[in-house]
Amino acid sequence: MELSVARRVGMEVVEALAPGCDRVMMAGSARRGKAEPKDLEIVYISRMVKEQVDLFTVIKAPATEKLIYDLIEQGFWHFDDQVKRNGPLYKRMVHSIYNSPGVGVPKMVIELFRANHVNWGLILALRTGPEDFMHLLVTRLCGAIPVDMEMRAGFLWRRGQRLETPTEEIFFEEIGVPCWAPEERSAVRLARWLWERGRGELSGE
């Protein structure tokens, strides 16, 4: 799918989810400006709302859960029946659109990743990619992440203490790597940067 189409669909998804979110943003290859994204990745922080479980019990629940099912009923999208994912933090949807009369895009996969205010920066960076860049970024041996740190259960940890990464800038600062613009992130660039500082091995183009 062309980048312009992917970004247009991505903005439709962002706008559709926005009423139930504290924050929502397009990630993945569309954010990086890849010419032909294969799918869309959306990162969001859900608003928490009161939900009556029974006569005596009220809990806080993510507003996006009901919103996602409302959008299904409206025909906006549906769950992917080939790769089934419907967990609390990751959902895989399929959204059919038409760009203009006679020009159709029969299927676009939309992956929804739920973050929170503490790990937003990490999740956004992780889901922006690219994959080989992130793999090198979180590898401790000949990679970017310091040996006393790890990424586990959706959070960044240092010597057993969970760190807050509310922005991408803070996430990259914690691991000591520049926060390059999404379109400038690549494993080659990161490998070269690490090698110049004696922190890794130089990869070929």
What CA–CA distance (Å, rounded) separates 190 from 61? Answer: 39
- Contact criterion met (CB below 8 Å) for 40 and 9: yes
- Contact criterion met (CB below 8 Å) for 93 and 84: no
Structure confidence by residue, pLDDT tens digits, 65-108? 999 999 999 989 999 998 999 999 999 999 876 433 444 555 78
What tokens appear for 41 in the block? 């990745």
With bands split at pLDDT 50, 70 and 90, how would you rate the model's confidence at 201? Answer: low
| Among the listed residues 149, 205, 204, the one whose alpha carbon sits nearest the alpha carbon of residue 176 | 149
What tokens appear for 160 in the block? 């057993």
What tokens appear for 161 in the block? 């203490």
In the chain the domains, ranked by start, together with CATH numbers, are 1-115 (3.30.460.10), 118-205 (no CATH)
pLDDT of residue 123: 98
Q: How many residues does the chain have?
A: 205
State mean pLDDT over 132-150.
89
Cβ neighbours of residue 119 closer than 8 Å, sequence gap 6 or more: 154, 155, 156, 164, 165, 166
Coil, helix or strand for 74? Answer: coil
Q: Which residues pair with 61 in a beta bridge?
A: 49
pLDDT of residue 107: 74
Please identify which residue in the block is written with the tokens 């299927």: 107
Question: Helix axis angle, 120-128 relative to 168-175, nearest 10°?
Answer: 90
In terms of C-beta distances under 8 Å and separation of at least 24 residues, what long-range contacts does 135-139 make, across chains too?
Answer: 135/187, 136/187, 136/190, 136/191, 136/194, 136/200, 137/175, 137/177, 137/190
Coil, helix or strand for 114? Answer: strand
CB atoms < 10 A from the CB of 147, how many? Answer: 8
pTM exceeding 0.85 = yes
Q: Comparing 92-96, 118-122, 155-159, which segment has the lowest mean pLDDT?
A: 92-96
Report phi then psi at 198, rounded to 5: 70, 25
What CA–CA distance (Å, rounded) separates 169 from 175? Answer: 10
